[in-house]
């Protein structure tokens, strides 16, 4: 078996490119992007931007 680490980053679309540049810079081997996520938290509704 192989050890796998999981890191979740929640960011708005405006900062996506900067986040991706950082991930590439640190040598991340793979990632998944889920766009247009909506929901609700204790701070109210969260809409996709």
Structure tokens at 19: 């986040």
Rounded average pLDDT over 5-10: 88
Question: Three-class SS string for the chain?
Answer: CCCCCCCCCCCCHHHHHHHHHHHHHCCCCCCCCCCCCCEEECCEEECCC
Q: Where are the beta strands (DSSP E) in 8-49?
A: 39-41, 44-46
Residue 26 Cα to chain centre, angstroms: 15
Enter the tokens of residue 11. 């960011």
Q: Which pLDDT band, with edges at 50, 70 and 90, does 49 fall under?
A: low
Per-residue model confidence as pLDDT tens digits over 16-37: 999 999 999 999 888 999 888 8
């Amino acid at each position: 078996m192989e050890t796998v680490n999981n890191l979740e980053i929640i960011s708005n679309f405006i900062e996506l490119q900067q986040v991706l540049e950082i991930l590439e810079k640190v040598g991340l081997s793979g990632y998944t992007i889920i766009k247009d996520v909506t929901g609700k938290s204790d701070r109210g509704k969260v809409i996709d931007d």
